[in-house]
Amino acid sequence: MASTWISYNELAWTEDLLADPKEYEDEVNGYIDVIKRTAGEPVKTLLHLGCGAAEPYVRCRGHT
């Protein structure tokens, strides 16, 4: 079922205008740090379940 909430439909493109992608860097680095510290072995993959405009996902790529 498609969302009827306007921000998931017509306004999704505004995310980059409202939040500078560089603002995600500290947040994502914190997630990566927690994942690396708590994983029992080196992390090779990350399941992407959705994260708005995908900027956090983009910043996670390359951290293996």
**How does pLDDT run across 11-21, given as a tens digit for each residue?**
777 776 777 77
Domain carrying residue 33? 10-60
Q: Is residue 1 part of a domain?
A: no
Residue 45 lies in a domain: yes
Domain contains 46: yes
Residue 39 falls inside a structural domain: yes
Neighbours of 60 (CB within 10 A): 19
- Residues with Cβ within 8 Å of residue 19, at least 6 apart in sequence: 53, 55
Reported as a pLDDT band with limits 50, 70 and 90, residue 41 is very high
Calculate ∠ Cα 50-51-57, nearest 5°: 95
Residue 23 belongs to some domain of the structure: yes
In a domain, 44, yes or no: yes
- Does the predicted TM-score (pTM) go above 0.85? no
Determine, yes or no, domain membership for 40: yes
> For the chain, what is the domain count?
1
Q: What is the pLDDT of residue 64?
A: 59
